[in-house]
Structure 1
Amino acid sequence: MRPVMGRYYGIAMGDKSKNNLATSYHMKEALVQIDDSVEILLNRVQITRGVLLGLQTPAVAAEAGGILKFSWTDNSGQGTAKATDRLLVAVYDPIIDKFETMEKVALRSALSASVTLPAPFVGSQVHCWASFVSEDDRLYSTSVYLGEIEAV
């Protein structure tokens, strides 16, 4: 996730890179110690963090063939949100401990988009996040955690 977070996580300040900001957030907010081990609270993970208006009424559904269908309400024109903002999707499979990110999946105005997961993800319970990135890559929203779903 470092390449995505390095581009779309907060605003670098002085010696704090975007990856440093992401690491700091996750260590403070997404990690919890249980007995002798540390666990990540996936619902607190942020793939991107920014000021662009994010997804409104987001949802994800699984379809046969490892397809995930993401949907949302078009909130273009609210704040800095534009119809040309592009959907970014991240999916994590805890069984194989792998993230898959897909950028420029669809425009905000499309209202939905489908992505096909890599074969190793099919049959697993996967965790999903989504956010928007402006057409010029300068603005990005804070990702939203869409929950866990079985990839069929």
Structure 2
Amino acid sequence: MGILKSGALGPFRNKVGPLIGRRHMSQNLLLPLPHPSSKPATAKQLEAQEKLGLLSSFLNRIDKLVNPGFKAYTKHNSPVNAAFKYNYDHAFVKQGETFLLNYPKLVYSRGHILPPEGAALSSAGSKITFSWLPQNQSAYCQFSDKASFMVFNAVKEKGFVIILQHTVNRYAGSFELEVPKDFAGNPVHCYMSFSSADGKKQGDSLYVGEVVVA
């Protein structure tokens, strides 16, 4: 049953005849009813579906970082969709007949705040240490900028992600992050980014590297 909110000419929700009305991103949308195809999917369609599932699942799992990180690049879209569009062309590598995520190329945030310089990783005792070099202050590089970190363990079933936001300031030069003990021996993908102290301005996320948890 369709619901008319503002009379016969106003927006509506649900199904009315061959049309569907819905509200999305503050817009009233009028869409045709879907017509499922009886034809089997082509190889290209299956490939596109595989890529869609991989990247969408990853970005939705890290939406705490993506939502502020891509907020400035949305119009009539969500931050996750904006991140999907930005990442899609470089997000995959092919291993045999299977697509995998290209972790070093993935980006969860974009902006003018400068990324860390000389970022490096080390691991000992179920802890990962991020470190970075001092940088001269400027409009987009302040000692007070706050760091966010992400560690992704692709070895675990469906992947296991650790996210820490707005932890230490840029001046600290390092941050020690504890991971579960069963990460020992697993390679993990590590990322970080800076935002302004008030969180209103974001910077490009940086793939710091892969490290095996000691």
Q: Same fold (TM over 0.5)?
A: yes
- Matched residue, 2:10: none
CA distance in 1, matches of 2:166, 2:71: 19
Distance 1:116 1:34, change over 3 A: closer
CA distance in 1, matches of 2:164, 2:206: 15
Structure of higher CA gyration radius: 2
- Secondary structure of the residue aligned to 2:80 is helix
Of 83, 88, 110, the match for 1:22:
83
Tell me if 1:2 matches 2:63.
Answer: yes
- Matched residue, 1:124: 186
Q: Displacement of 1:17 after TM fit?
A: 2.1
Of 194, 197, 212, the match for 1:135:
197
TM-score scaled by length of structure 1: 0.90
CA distance in 2, matches of 1:118, 1:78: 37
- Matched residue, 1:58: 119
8 Å Cα contact 2:68/2:202 also seen in 1: no
CA distance in 1, matches of 2:198, 2:192: 18
User: For structure 1, which runs of at least 5 residues remain unmatched after alignment?
Assistant: none
User: For structure 2, which runs of at least 5 residues remain unmatched after alignment?
Assistant: 1-61
Deviations 1:70-119 (A, max 9, x none): 11112251341111111111111011111111112211001111111123
CA RMSD, Structure 1 to Structure 2 (Å):
1.6
Q: Whose RCO is larger (CA < 8 A, sep 6+)?
A: 1
Q: Displacement of 1:45 after TM fit?
A: 0.8
State the number of aligned residues: 151
TM-score scaled by length of structure 2: 0.66
Distance 1:76 1:19, change over 3 A: farther
8 Å Cα contact 1:10/1:50 also seen in 2: no
Identity %: 21
Displaced runs of 4 or more, over 3 A = 32-36
Amino acid at match of 1:91: V
By percentage of residues, which structure has more strand? 1
Of 80, 89, 95, the match for 2:155:
95
Deviations 1:127-146 (A, max 9, x none): 10111111111111111111
Q: Displacement of 1:10 after TM fit?
A: 5.4
